[in-house]
Amino acid sequence: MQTLLIEGQSRQPFQGRFVVPGDKSIAQRVLLLAAMAQGETVVEGVPANFDCQSMLGVISKLGAQVCDLGGGRVRIVGWGQRGPEAVEEPIDCGNSGTCMRLTAGVLSMSAHTYTLIGDPSLKKRSMRSLVQLLSQFGAQLETLGENDCPPLRVRGARSGLEGEFQPLEFTKLTVQLPTSSAQLKTAAILAALSRGNIELTVREPFKSRDHSEILLRELGYKLREHPLADGGHEVTLKVGSCLVPALGKYRVFGDPSSAAFLIALALLRPHSHIVVDYLNINPTRMGFYAIARRMGANICARYNNRFYGELVGGITADYSHLQGVEVQASEVPLCLDEVPLLAVLASRARGVTRIRGAETVRHKESDRISSTLQELAKLGIRSTEHVDGFDLWGQMGEAPRPEKDAGQTEPILLQAHGDHRVAMSLGVAACLVHRPVQLEGFECAAISYPEFWETLKRMMVIL
C-alpha cells in the first residue's frame, strides 16, 4: 500500500478544459457483448483502468479473440455460435464487481462449469442477490467464500444438454430485483440473450442506469420500459435467437463519474472554472449533478450529439456557494458512485445534508458510508451515521479545519480503504485543507481513473 503526501496546497483557482477516460460501465458492457457476438467489433475509447483490463482478460480466457490496436482501440472477434469455451482454472475478475456479475449472467446459460474469483476487496462483496437471480434461469450458482461472497461457481443451465445452441422451449420469466441495480438487471438481460427463446421482464424499485438497454436497441432488440404504480420501473425484452449480432464499431465517451471529481473541486475552490468535454451525459448518470445543482452549484450541461443511443456533450462548472439538501432514496440509484463525493460537497455547504436510502453503498469496494465519514471526521467534519445514509454538518464554505491547530505541519493521515471512489473524494477534500495530508492507498484510484492524481499535479492543484 502506497502513500501520497499532499502538502503546500496551491491557492490558485482550478481552471482548464479536460477530457476524462471513457465510461467503464459502458466499456465493460460493450466488451462483453462484443465477445458474445457473431463477428468483429472495434471498440474505441476503452479506458486503461484496472476494471476494463479485467474484463478484457476474462473474455479472452473465454475464447474471444482480443487485439489491442493501441490508443484505447481494441478489436474483438466474438465466440458467437461456439459459445464461451470451457475453462477449468479460476477466471480472475480483479476488483470489478461489474465484471463478475455480468460474466456470471452470460455463463449461467452455458454448457460448462466455471469458477469466478477476484481480489481481496471483491472477495468481501456479497453475491447473494446474483445467485438468487440467475437460479431462476435454471443455472446453479454457489458462493465458496464466507457470507455469500466469492469465489463464485457457476454451472450453466445447458450443462448436460447435447449441442449448446439447440433451441430451448419458449418461456416467459419475470424477476423482481431486491434493490435497484444496473449490474443485476444487466446480468439477467445477458442470461436471456445467452438463452434465447425467452420473454424477460425485470422489475426494480427505482430506475437504475440504462446503458444495457440502450446498447440492445442499437443491436436491433426491442425493449419496452414503463414506470410502475408503486414508483418502480419495469423493462421487458423478447429474445428469439441466442446469437448476438456484432456492433461493428463503437466509441466509448467520457465517464461522468470520473468527471464528477474534477467538477467538485472546481465548485469548492474559489474563482475556479472548468469544462469537461466529450462526456457521456446519459440522464441516468446525472444524479450527482442534479443534487449538486440543488445545493446551488453553478453547473451547466451542454448537449452536442447522440452516439450509439447515448447523449454526449460537455459540462461546465464554476466556484459556488453551496447549501445543504435532503437526498431521497429514489435519487440514490443514479448517484451510487458519487455518495462519498457528495459528502465532501456537503462538508463545505451551509447547513445539514441528509442522505437516506443509500444502504447499497455499504456493499461496494468498502462500506462507503462508514469509511467516508470516518475519514472526514479527521478533517474536523461532524456527521451522524445511519443504517441507510448520514446527516452531515457543513462548514459554510470555509476550508475544513482539523481539530488540531491548522498551523501545525504534521500531516493528517487519511486512508482510502481500498476504494477508488473514497480515495478520489478524499483527494478533493485534501486539496482544500490548511495542513499536509498523507493519503494511504491512493493508488486504488487506478481502478477507474488512473490519470486522476497526475491531472491534479499538472494543474498545480497539489504541489
pLDDT on residue 373 = 98
Q: Transcribe 383-419 into DSSP letters.
A: EEEETTEEEEE--TTPPP--SS-TT--SPEEEE-TT-
pLDDT band at 461 (very low <50, low <70, confident <90, very high): low
Percent share of the chain, pLDDT over 90: 86
pLDDT on residue 168 = 81
- The answer to whether residue 25 scores a pLDDT higher than 70 is yes
Tell me which of 160 and 248 has the higher pLDDT. 248
| pLDDT tens figures, 45-98 | 999 999 999 999 999 999 999 999 999 999 999 999 889 999 999 999 999 999
Percent share of the chain, pLDDT over 70: 95
Active-site annotation holder among 337, 367, 391, 419 = 337
Average pLDDT of the residues of the chain:
93
Q: Mean pLDDT throughout 392-421? A: 77
CB 201: neighbour CB atoms within 10 A? Answer: 17
Grid cell listed for 188 = 439477467
- The answer to whether residue 429 scores a pLDDT higher than 70 is yes
C-alpha dihedral (145, 148, 151, 157), degrees to nearest 10: 140
CATH architecture, range 3-21+253-458: Alpha-beta prism (3.65)
- The answer to whether residue 403 scores a pLDDT higher than 80 is no
pLDDT band at 35 (very low <50, low <70, confident <90, very high): very high
| pLDDT tens figures, 101-132 | 999 999 999 999 999 999 999 999 999 999 99
Q: Transcribe 141-192 into DSSP letters.
A: EEE-SGGG-SSEEEE-TTTT-SSTTSPPPPEEEEEE-SS--HHHHHHHHHHH
C-alpha dihedral (353, 359, 363, 369), degrees to nearest 10: 20
- The answer to whether residue 336 scores a pLDDT higher than 80 is yes
CB 288: neighbour CB atoms within 10 A? Answer: 26
User: How far apart, in Å, are the Cα atoms of 418 and each of 24, 402, 444?
Assistant: 18, 23, 6
pLDDT on residue 6 = 84
Provide the greatest CA pair distance for the chain: 74
Q: Mean pLDDT throughout 231-238? A: 96
- The answer to whether residue 194 scores a pLDDT higher than 90 is yes
pLDDT on residue 458 = 81
- The answer to whether residue 1 scores a pLDDT higher than 90 is no
| pLDDT tens figures, 379-399 | 999 999 999 999 999 986 555
CB proximity list for 163: less than 8 A, separation 6 or greater: none
pLDDT on residue 372 = 98
pLDDT band at 322 (very low <50, low <70, confident <90, very high): very high
pLDDT band at 242 (very low <50, low <70, confident <90, very high): confident
Q: Which part of the chain has CATH 3.65.10.10?
A: 3-21+253-458, 24-251
pLDDT on residue 396 = 62
pLDDT on residue 399 = 55
The pTM of this model reads: 0.92
The C-alpha atoms of residue 2 and residue 442 are separated, in whole angstroms, by: 7
In this structure, whether the domain defined by 24-251 belongs to CATH 3.40.50.10490 is answered with no
Q: Mean pLDDT throughout 150-167? A: 80
pLDDT on residue 162 = 58
pLDDT on residue 410 = 87
337 flagged as catalytic = yes
